[in-house]
Amino acid sequence: MALNKTIVLPRSVPVVHVPRRLPHAWRGCWKFAQKNPLSGMAAAFLVLVTLAALAAPWIAPYDPLAIAPIERLQAPSLAHPLGTDNLGRDVLSRIIHGGRISLAVGFWTVILGTCTGAVVGMISGYHGGAVDMVIQRFVDAMQSFPGLLMALALVAVLGASTLNVIIAISLVVAPLDSRIIRSATLQVRGMDYIQAAKSVGVSDTRILFRHILPNVTAPFIIMATVTFGAAVLIESSLAFLGLGVPPPAPSWGGMLSGAGRQYLERMPTLAIFPGLAISLTVLSLNLLGDGLREVLDPRLKGRD
């Protein structure tokens, strides 16, 4: 007589996967650098510049404001790797500390100008109609002035200071940034899920920040890198024209307009080294923006 036996299989033990976000992030950065070598090198350079600026009080070999007339206009040496200026101040220390001002201006310009422009562009593109017309005519009026000329006028009225330079540059870049985000918003506004959200009574604010904002993040990131580089360049231009961060605070543009221009023939390194700092930083930001565009723009995926 056969007996029916119930065979009980042991329950499988659930496997707990521990998230490893940091290694995954590093792998993503490594893949990005492999796919875009120039952008990877640009990102590495920007990281070094940022770390050097943040650690400037500890890694700068000298006080950037310390005057030593007996050591004025010295050529690069072991004691002063990039030489000294007309007041005996160490050029390397001033370049390291000057990076703090340039990067701070770029960072806060992105926060104030780009973010404000992005919000205005989203509102303009989403609502359309009279709201869009009024905003765009105001944007047209602001864009009718050359950017550098407008920044010069604003700083001349407000006064030369770091805060006023940030405000002036933010007002220059915000209109263009709003136009870019408006174009991206117009493409998303007609999607079916936006119309479905409207039909069920979702508020405009929730649609803007829950449904539209994630879809314009890619152009925003690309735009932020380009704006950062433009802000560094405009700040240097203002400082070169005497309307930037007031001396004796070290800034790259101020170093060019001061000793760099005055002693160009006698000591050209006073202009070469801060000029290289500006050029390499802006170039790195542009290369990083190009690489991010290739990664984040779906129209460029699969393109050789």
* Cβ proximity of 108 and 186 under 8 Å: no
What CATH number corresponds to the domain at position 52? 1.10.3720.10
Whether pTM exceeds 0.95: no
User: Helix, strand, or coil here: 90?
Assistant: strand
pLDDT interval class at 51 (50, 70, 90): very high
Q: Which residues contact 297 (CB under 8 A, 6 or more apart)?
A: 218, 219, 222
Q: What pLDDT shows up at residue 27?
A: 67
> Looking at this protein, which amino acid is placed at residue 25?
A
User: Helix, strand, or coil here: 10?
Assistant: coil
Domain assignment present for residue 77? The answer is: no
Q: pLDDT tens across 154-184, in order? A: 888 888 788 888 899 999 888 888 898 888 8
User: In which domain, by residue range, is 137 found?
Assistant: 36-61+83-300
Q: What are phi and psi of 293, to 5 degrees?
A: -65, -40
The whole-angstrom separation of Cα 250 and Cα 259 is 12
Domain assignment present for residue 285? The answer is: yes
Domain assignment present for residue 247? The answer is: yes
Residue showing tokens 């006698």: 266
Domain assignment present for residue 159? The answer is: yes
Q: What pLDDT shows up at residue 31?
A: 73
Domain assignment present for residue 18? The answer is: no
Q: Which residues contact 288 (CB under 8 A, 6 or more apart)?
A: 39, 42, 43, 46, 225
Q: What pLDDT shows up at residue 48?
A: 92
Q: pLDDT tens across 65-110, in order? A: 888 888 888 888 888 888 888 888 888 989 999 888 888 888 999 8
Domain assignment present for residue 93? The answer is: yes
The whole-angstrom separation of Cα 64 and Cα 71 is 14
Domain assignment present for residue 92? The answer is: yes
Average pLDDT along the chain: 80
Peptide bond into 250 cis (omega under 30): no
Q: pLDDT tens across 180-210, in order? A: 888 888 888 878 888 788 888 778 788 888 8
Domain assignment present for residue 98? The answer is: yes
* Cβ proximity of 102 and 252 under 8 Å: yes
Cα dihedral angle (131, 136, 142, 148), rounded to 10 degrees?
A: 130
Q: How many domains does the chain have?
A: 1
* Cβ proximity of 287 and 42 under 8 Å: yes
* Cβ proximity of 86 and 262 under 8 Å: yes
Q: Which residues contact 212 (CB under 8 A, 6 or more apart)?
A: 122, 126, 185, 188, 189, 194
User: Helix, strand, or coil here: 11?
Assistant: coil
Q: What are phi and psi of 84, to 5 degrees?
A: -130, 160
